[in-house]
Structures are given as structure tokens and as C-alpha cells.
Amino acid sequence: MATFRRESNGYIYLYHWINPTTPLKVSTKLKIELTDWNKKKARPRDVNATYLGSNIIDEMKRYENTLGESLIKYPEDSVQVVRHELGKLLNNSSIKEYSDFLEYFKDFKEKAKQEERSNWKSYNTCYKHLCKYQNNKPLPFSAVDMRFYNSYNNYLLSLKLAANTVANQWKLIKAVMSKAFVEEYHNNATFKHFKQRMEQADTIYLSVGELSRMMNKKLSGHLEKARDYFIIGSFTGLRFEDWNRVKQSTIKDGTMSIRATKTGEVSIIPVHPYVQQILDKYEGVLPPKPSNQKMNDYIKVAAMRADINDDIEVRITRGGKKEIRTEKKHDLVTTHTARRSLATNLILEGVSPYVVMKVTGHKSLSSFERYVKLRELEAGIELKSLSFFS
């Protein structure tokens, strides 16, 4: 049975399940405002609604009827065959056939941008690396094999990228190949065997004392605003994209309720006095938030001004070679340090990891352990309690 959905980019898509696990999804190239769309009926609220001069309901019926013709002609065939026939009958260039991985990847990352997905820039960077490697030549789906994996992996290493950056490139490539595989644009399953070699990152957190020093340091202008945002992240555990959603109206009986942009899950977070103090300063609504890049620059300076200057040994694998260097702690502070600081400080206070996971949104204890280096923290806490170290 066919159905229509209005997606977050405002466009209406035709869906039909060829089988329980394989959807046919086609953009109608029709766009409509959320307030004008009846989600329950999957139709415009106004029967006369138009887009670019075409009646939306009439166009939807045309897609529906043409899909029916395609399914009558090819009742048992694959998504790719039905999509191809649908495109021919509609004479509609919007229904694309893909044989080239880079062409599909380009449209994939553009759709991610339209939908304002938080990781679309990562896909864009990955796409640029692939295009440079290919010298802008086509890359058929069938060519994304183990020979490609080994060659492209060596290329990424030659760029002196960190091991986890390389691993993330493969994670993104596999995600796009998987999506195209499910949509039956190719049947090359080799991508499932591509390895993602992550290494344990040397990450930092700021103690409650260090955070207090930052909070009480007299700053002004963009440094003050960046510091205030960082403190809010450090005492709420929210992701960077949700920091500016903290406001007085989200607080009731000493707790705030915020639905995470990334996961859609609601976090119920007690309001720390520092958070309330910052909200009071801005009369309940925070000022415009700097970009992630600028925020990272500003909070490093704010941390330096607060004398967070310990020497930290950093180990990283770059270009396939291990490096060890010493950095000042303030130079390692990023927006993500705030979220990790909350999780680590709660663990050090004796809060159950499972309770902390409710705040951070981690689904498994194993991923949370890596996030805060839980076993190292627990070992340190246990050793400190021994009389041997008293």
C-alpha cells in the first residue's frame, strides 16, 4: 500500500513497501508547510493547495496511480526495477537511477543538509576526500570493494589524519553504501567487511573545582558568553546543539525538561545553582550562541584565563604512526569536554553509571565505559580509599 509523508525538509515523499523490509521511497518534488499538512490523513489540509503552479493533491494522485501501473507490470520485482518503471511512466527526471557511488553520496549529503542533520558537514568532508581521491572520476558501486578499501585507506593515512578520523570516514562510507544497498541501487555487500579501527582517545574533563574557577573568573564580551554556555553544558550534560535551548521557561520545580535534538529523548535535569545564576544574568533567555568552531576557540582562552594549565600527555595515532606529546590542559578543552565533565564528575560523586547514562543518553554500559574511562575511574577511587595511600 502506498502512502505519503512530509519530511523535515518540507518535501512530500511517496512510500511503498515492496516487502516488509524494503521501502520504495520517491520524492514528489512537492513542498508544503508543516501547518498546511494533515499528517493523519497524509494530505494537504486545503484541497486547492498548490506548489509551483501544480495542485498538490492532483500530483499526489498521479504518483499514486502511476505506482499502481508499475506494480501491475512488475508485481514481484525489486525496488530498482519498480523505481525505473515509475520514472519512465512519469517521465520525471526527479526519480533518479544511480550506478555511481559518488553521485549517490552527493545527493545523500545534500539531503542531510536540507534536513539540517547535525552530522551533514562530516558527510560533506568525507565526500570531498572521496572526490579528490577519485580525481572527480566516477566510482561505480561495484568498485567499492576490498581493493578500494586498502587503496583508499592508504590514501587517508597519507593525509596524516588521526586514526579515529580515518575510522569515522569508513563509518560514513559504510552508512551511505548501506542505505544504497537497502534501496537496491547495488548488490555489492563487500562494504560490510570494511574495518573501522578506533583507538581509545586521550580525553579530558574539568573537575568541579576547575569549573568553579571558570565560573568565577571575570570575563567580558564573547569570552564571557562562551564561558557561560560551557558552564551550562558542564552542569546539564546537554549536547552542544542543545545548549541554547536552556531557558527559564523549561524549568519547573527546580528541574528542566529538554528533548534532545539528536535523539528526540527527553532529559529531566536538576538545575545547578550556576545554571540558574547564568539564566538570571540573561533574564531567562540566553544570548545568541557562537558556532562550534568559534566556541572551541573562545573556551580555550577562557580556560587559560582560569589557570587551567596542567600539563597533559596526549597519545594519538596519526598517519599510522603513534605520537606522544605534552599539551596544556586549556588547549584540549572543547565543547564536548563539558558533557564529559558532567558524566565524570557524577561518577566521582558515586552516582550509578546507569543513572548518569540517563542524562548522557548512552544506550550501553560498554559505550559509556569508553566515554568516561569508567574502569580507570573506579580503580582510582578504590585505590584512594586504601590505607596504603593514606
Q: Are 297 and 370 members of one domain?
A: yes
- What is the widest separation between alpha-carbon atoms in the chain? 81
Domain total for the chain? 3
The percent of residues in the chain predicted with pLDDT above 90, rounded, is 41
- Determine the Cα–Cα distance for residues 89 and 163; give it in Å rounded to an integer: 48
- Determine the Cα–Cα distance for residues 56 and 52; give it in Å rounded to an integer: 9
Identity of the residue numbered 257: S
Q: Are 144 and 266 members of one domain?
A: no
Inform me whether the pLDDT recorded for 389 exceeds 50. Answer: no
- Determine the Cα–Cα distance for residues 235 and 84; give it in Å rounded to an integer: 53
Within-domain flag for 198: no
Within-domain flag for 56: yes
Within-domain flag for 58: yes
Closest CA to 289 of 237, 246, 339: 246
Closest CA to 3 of 20, 25, 21: 25
- CA angle centred on 166, ends 162 and 168, rounded to 5°: 115
Q: Are 138 and 239 members of one domain?
A: no
Confidence tier at 43 by pLDDT (50, 70, 90): very high
- Are the C-beta atoms of residues 158 and 119 closer than 8 Å to each other? no
Identity of the residue numbered 78: S
Q: Which of 14-28, 108-122, 173-187 has the highest mean pLDDT?
A: 173-187
Within-domain flag for 199: no
Which pTM value belongs to this model? 0.59
- Which domain does 159 fall in, by range? 101-193
CATH of the domain at 213: 1.10.443.10
- Determine the Cα–Cα distance for residues 348 and 377; give it in Å rounded to an integer: 7
Within-domain flag for 320: yes
Within-domain flag for 81: yes
Burial label for 187, CB within 10 Å (0-12, 13-18, 19+), is exposed
Question: DSSP letters along 41-73, please?
Answer: TTEESSTT-EETTEEHHHHHHHHHHHHHHHHHH
Confidence tier at 388 by pLDDT (50, 70, 90): very low
Question: Over the chain, what is the mean pLDDT?
Answer: 85
Domain's final residue, options 140, 166, 193: 193
Residues 6+ apart with CB under 8 A from 15: 2, 3, 4, 5, 23, 24, 25
- Are the C-beta atoms of residues 15 and 24 closer than 8 Å to each other? yes
Inform me whether the pLDDT recorded for 62 exceeds 80. Answer: yes
- Determine the Cα–Cα distance for residues 103 and 180; give it in Å rounded to an integer: 11
Between the alpha carbon of residue 152 and those of residues 146, 174, 210, 243, 316, the distances in Å are: 10, 13, 43, 37, 21
CATH of the domain at 186: 1.10.150
Q: Does 141 or 53 have the greater pLDDT score?
A: 141
Q: Are 182 and 214 members of one domain?
A: no
Q: Are 107 and 241 members of one domain?
A: no
Q: What is the pLDDT of residue 355?
A: 83
pLDDT tens profile 158-194: 999 888 899 999 999 999 999 888 777 888 999 999 9
Identity of the residue numbered 55: N
Q: Are 307 and 338 members of one domain?
A: yes
Q: Are 116 and 244 members of one domain?
A: no
Q: Are 346 and 218 members of one domain?
A: yes
Q: Are 364 and 255 members of one domain?
A: yes
Residues 6+ apart with CB under 8 A from 344: 205, 372, 377
Domain's final residue, options 158, 193, 228: 193
Domain's final residue, options 90, 114, 130: 90
Within-domain flag for 227: yes
Q: Does 196 or 235 have the greater pLDDT score?
A: 235
Burial label for 34, CB within 10 Å (0-12, 13-18, 19+), is exposed
Confidence tier at 271 by pLDDT (50, 70, 90): very high
Average pLDDT over residues 104-127: 87
Q: Which of 166-170, 199-203, 290-294, 315-319 has the highest mean pLDDT?
A: 166-170
Q: Are 320 and 372 members of one domain?
A: yes
Q: What is the pLDDT of residue 215?
A: 96
Q: Are 243 and 296 members of one domain?
A: yes
Within-domain flag for 96: no
Q: How many other C-beta atoms can be found within 10 angstroms of the C-beta atom of residue 57?
A: 16
Q: Are 168 and 118 members of one domain?
A: yes
Q: Does 304 or 202 have the greater pLDDT score?
A: 304
Average pLDDT over residues 227-231: 97
